Amino acid sequence: MNPLPQNDEEWRDWLHRQGAEPMAFEVTRRAATERPFKGKYEDHWQAGRYSCVCCSALLFDAGTKFDAGCGWPSFYQAVRPEAVQLLEDRTHGMVRTEVRCAACGSHLGHVFPDGYGTPTGDRYCMNSAALSFTPTD
């Protein structure tokens, strides 16, 4: 496997060559947030697995995805706790928990303890632009 990019220009080129959507660089490398109800996986319910668009690390199973009504793909847990890195985020005058890919550090979204009715009580609110999807049979 080739080493991951090291600077912004390399990341932009890498994501373009991977066929990532245009917003992927801003989301994964700059911690931007895509507009609600606009991401390709927000209303996507096919069986499969979601991986990091930057490094292909496995992050979420479709079986843990639920309709949170928030406008972003939501999961109640990561495929493994060590698949994601959780960091305190104090931007925009709020205190939130940022979720990053543990393998490459890409920003994925945030996790909130308001996933009522889910087995964990958590809502991993992810950006579609940070994910790739592989269907299962």
Query: Vertex 51, ends 49 and 53: CA angle to 5°?
Result: 140
Q: How far apart are CA 125 and CA 113, in angstroms?
A: 11
- Choose the catalytic residue: 52, 54, 101, 125: 125
Q: Taking a C-beta distance cutoff of 8 angstroms, is the pair 72, 125 a contact?
A: yes
Q: How far apart are CA 28 and CA 5, in angstroms?
A: 13
Residue 55 designated active-site:
no
Q: Taking a C-beta distance cutoff of 8 angstroms, is the pair 14, 52 a contact?
A: no
Q: What's the burial of 55, exposed, middle or buried (CB within 10 Å: 0-12/13-18/19+)?
A: middle
Catalytic residue list: 125
